[in-house]
Amino acid sequence: MTPTIDDRADARTTYGAALEPARLAAYAPGEYVGQESFMTAGEIRALAERAGIGRDSRVLDLCCGVAGPGRLVAAEAGCDYVGVDQDAAAVAAARLAAGDEPCRFEVRRVPPLPPGAFDVVLLLETLLAFRDKQPLVAAVAAGLRAGGRFAVTVEEGAPLTDAERAAMPAADTVWPIPLPELVGLLARHGLRVASVEEHSVAHRGTAAALTGAFEEHGVAIGTRIGCQAVDDLIAAHRLWVDWLDSGRIRKMSVVAVR
């Protein structure tokens, strides 16, 4: 029998629940808000502030997944928030988690973006998954009103080598970009970089803490999502620790203005 969206949403919820004790152990108190990334709640809030998100903002959260960061921003800013993701199961899980929070969600592959003009477009910890970033940036620029902001986190560095791709689980979603190349791409589509912050040291610490927590909780996690999934999770996080430690990859956040 083919799994239904509800079945896949349950599986996504189960996956998140299996990892949650380890994630709670890895983050400082109050810093874990359901994110599937190295960002802390404080970093999410700071980026939302840099992007000028307020009560009157119309905010589009691209590739929101289960939308932990987006739900935090929507709840605290009281903005008009819509999260989109191509994974129907993730969107179903996000809706369930949001409850009565002021959030709307849509299943959509991007690009293109939903119609309309937005004050802020968020893309958190997912630019990495786009091999060709040009169509995405073009769509974001077209979807922002004049003066609108694109707030994006960036895994900055040269493309992975063949050996690095072989070592990284799900390497087809790992496409770093040099920062000057990204800045040039943004400029070609009318987006001016207003601020850049680096998070490499902090995210190296978060990645290391998550690696240790996944190792410590590995048996319990494996009983729920399978041993191979746990092995891949730990292998990927070890690589991120190495890359961030060596400077092979830098973690940045960028706000660009149309």
Domain 5-257 falls in which CATH fold? Rossmann fold (3.40.50)
**pTM (two decimals):** 0.94
In the chain, helix, strand, coil percent, each to 5?
50, 20, 30
Using one digit for the tens of pLDDT, what is the confidence trace for 25-37? 999 999 999 999 9
Task: Indicate left, alpha or beta for 154 from its phi (over 0: left) and psi (-120 to 50: alpha).
Answer: beta
Residue range 12-24: mean pLDDT, rounded: 90
Structure tokens at 216: 């410590």
The whole-angstrom separation of Cα 60 and Cα 136 is 14
Domain ranges of the chain: 5-257
Please say if the pLDDT value at position 3 is more than 70: no
The whole-angstrom separation of Cα 190 and Cα 192 is 6
Structure tokens at 157: 């560095």
Using one digit for the tens of pLDDT, what is the confidence trace for 210-227? 999 999 999 999 999 999
Q: How confident is the model at residue 64 (pLDDT cuts 50, 70, 90)?
A: very high
Looking at residue 13, its pLDDT comes to: 77
Looking at residue 4, its pLDDT comes to: 64
Report the percent of the chain where pLDDT is more than 70.
96
